Amino acid sequence: MMAEYAEALKRNGIDYDGAMERFGGNAELYERLALKFLDDTHFAALEQALAGGDVDTAVREAHTLKGVAGNLSFAALYEAASKVNAALREGDLAGATALMDPVRSAHAAVVSALSSLRDAR
């Protein structure tokens, strides 16, 4: 991945340097896996579960979103999803819902950065 893409990812809440450590410097593998995130449904499922008051599904989706974000070094999304996940684990649906704006912003930033990367390929 060229340096300009790495910088664009960093500006959008992605810890590219951390990802390269985690992926042993294999930028191609990271790019392939990160781009698969564009098809990930956990964010949408989390939004739907929260809107429907389904705490069990929301806990599962928030936890999975947090894990995927952590594995791919989507730092801002990981942090935001972690807070929602913690609230849901305590059964605080209203609190989790109130914490969703940073998740939405971080998710949108990641999707935007990855879409730009994909489109430039």
Residue 78 — pLDDT band, cuts 50, 70, 90?
Answer: very high
Q: What is the pTM of this model?
A: 0.93
User: What pLDDT does 6 receive?
Assistant: 83
User: What pLDDT does 2 receive?
Assistant: 60
More confident residue, 10 or 72: 72
CATH class of domain segment(s) 1-120: mainly alpha
Q: What is the 3-state secondary structure (H, E, C) of the chain?
A: CCHHHHHHHHHCCCCHHHHHHHCCCCHHHHHHHHHHHHHCCHHHHHHHHHHCCCHHHHHHHHHHHHHHHHHCCCHHHHHHHHHHHHHHHCCCHHHHHHCHHHHHHHHHHHHHHHHHHHHHC
Percent share of the chain, pLDDT over 90: 83
User: What pLDDT does 5 receive?
Assistant: 78
1 pLDDT above the threshold of 70: no
65 pLDDT above the threshold of 60: yes
52 pLDDT above the threshold of 80: yes
Residue 47 — pLDDT band, cuts 50, 70, 90?
Answer: very high
